[in-house]
Amino acid sequence: MEFDEDIKEPESTRINIESTRKIILDLIRAVGEDPDREGLKNTPDRMARMFTELLSGYTQEPETIINEALFYINYDEMVLVRDIEFYSLCEHHMLPFIGRAHVAYVPAGKVIGLSKIPRIVDMYARRLQVQERMTRQIADFVQQTLEPQGVAVVVEAMHLCSMMRGVKKHDARMTTSAMHGSFRANLATRQEFLNNISRGSKPLQF
């Protein structure tokens, strides 16, 4: 997924690299491995740095996302961004869940640049998450920022914690949704959205 080049991801200030490194070192010892062998020698350092990237959503400033991307416009048809790829970590096992999000809203005078919607998804995905909360947070953020007539978010994801742990594979796939305003109140609006996101969509797979 391509994002605007002009917006810099702020450096994570929340993650303590030094103590993360030490904990990973302890973890490697605790599972009975040798942290000094070649392949593992730099793993604590690599993982600590990796987490600053995978969990950068905590320090993402919403203002830097929406900055100068809000437009006042007389348009009241549905705006839909579908198939937004995302990567998150489940907070129960800290293993990835991976999938796509579909975000729609019906404006009430305010719209946001289309490229910003994937950045909003990313801001919430790059945290320790559960899929249900992430879905709601995306919907709430769009609701608060744009005050639209309605907003709808559907998230489909595969959870590695289910797939890798021998839980039945069909349990690893999950769909969640959050809807506000006209998507909740108006069946035709909701149906238009659901038809749009199912059209030509391929099933999730690895």
Smallest gap, in angstroms, from Cβ of residue 174 to Zn ion?
11
* Residue of the chain from 24, 84, 90, 146 that contacts Zn ion (CB under 5 A): 90
Backbone angles phi, psi at 165, to 5 degrees: -95, 15
Judged by CB under 5 A, how many residues of this single chain contact Zn ion?
Answer: 4
Contact between 37 and Zn ion (CB under 5 A)?
A: no
Contact between 92 and Zn ion (CB under 5 A)?
A: yes
Distance from C-alpha of 170 to C-alpha of 3, rounded to nearest angstrom: 32
Q: Is 144 annotated in the active site?
A: no
Q: Is 170 annotated in the active site?
A: no
Contact between 93 and Zn ion (CB under 5 A)?
A: yes
Q: Is 91 annotated in the active site?
A: yes
Q: Is 180 annotated in the active site?
A: no
Distance from C-alpha of 204 to C-alpha of 98, rounded to nearest angstrom: 9
Tell me the C-alpha to C-alpha distance, in Å, between residue 186 and each of 110, 144, 171, 183: 20, 20, 31, 6
Residue 162 is encoded by which pair of tokens? 């289910």
Residue 71 near residue 112, CB atoms below 8 Å: yes
Smallest CA-to-CA distance from 26 within 48, 55, 52 is with 48
Q: Is 131 annotated in the active site?
A: yes
* Residue of the chain from 161, 174, 194, 204 that contacts Zn ion (CB under 5 A): 161
Q: Which residue ranges make up the site for Zn ion (CB under 5 A)?
A: 90, 92-93, 161
Catalytic residue annotation: 90-93, 131, 159, 161
